[in-house]
Amino acid sequence: MTANGQTNLAMEVDDHPPAASPQPTPGGYNISWSNLGYTVKQGKKGEKQILTGMSGIVHQGSVVAVLGASGAGKSSFLDVLAGRKLQSDVSGTVEINGRTDIPIRHVSRYCVQEEALFGNLTVQDTLMYAADFNLPKSTPRKEKARIVREAMEDFGLTEQKKTIIGTPLRKGCSGGQIRRVSVASQVIGMKEGILFLGESSMALDFDFLEFPTGFINFCP
């Protein structure tokens, strides 16, 4: 797989054997891409090819690391897979369980590189806000509180639940804690699916986390 026509992007995947085409899998999602390309327009300079000829497949329960030098197109690759780029700039196909009619946004979450959290909210309030947004409206308040409590326990944030995220004028959580809050806010209410993690999230120690086998984790 190449990016910018020069720099190689490498992916490290666990030891799932490759397959020609993903099949519908109970309790999870497989994702594959074929001849994927991405081009950006540069005004008078014309177009620049960022990604070209990329093909691959990842099965449910996998953790994938996308490796490459700075500017190799790692984040662009994730953005294209996650449906975050204009389709007019993208070529090739992305399939979920062998189908192109399943919108990727319906089965995935994306934790961006830049933290997008409200600095004046506490950790608990931030995750409750995420629960209000991600869980069905019919979910009782007590159930949301339980889910948030479990998320804080899973991500090692219980002791910081009353600590604000922090602003330039008010000290709050540490950088590592903020990254954990950011990831936790994305997985709340998500029992299975594809989780895309931006580069800042990779400073985390994920050894203490156990994602369900239905998850695929993409990490640049």
Parse the chain into domains and list their residue ranges: 1-105, 107-220
The residue type found at 144 is K
Q: Which of 22, 67, 98 is nearest to 218 (CA)?
A: 67
pLDDT class of 13 with cuts at 50, 70, 90: very low
54-75 pLDDT per residue, tens: 999 999 888 888 888 888 888 8
Tokens representing residue 173 in the block? 């959580």
Q: Which residues contact 154 (CB under 8 A, 6 or more apart)?
A: 184, 209, 210
Q: Are 81 and 33 in contact (CB under 8 A)?
A: yes
pLDDT class of 122 with cuts at 50, 70, 90: very high
The residue type found at 133 is F
The 3-class secondary structure across 73-85, one letter per residue, is CHHHHHHHHCCCC
Distance CA(211)–CA(217), nearest Å, equals: 9
Q: Which residues contact 168 (CB under 8 A, 6 or more apart)?
A: none
149-187 pLDDT per residue, tens: 999 998 899 999 999 999 999 999 998 899 889 989 988
Place of tokens 């993903």: 22
CATH class of 107-220: alpha beta
Q: Which residues contact 149 (CB under 8 A, 6 or more apart)?
A: 158
Distance CA(183)–CA(197), nearest Å, equals: 8
Q: 96 burial class (0-12, 13-18, 19+ CB within 10 angstroms)?
A: buried
pLDDT of residue 9: 52
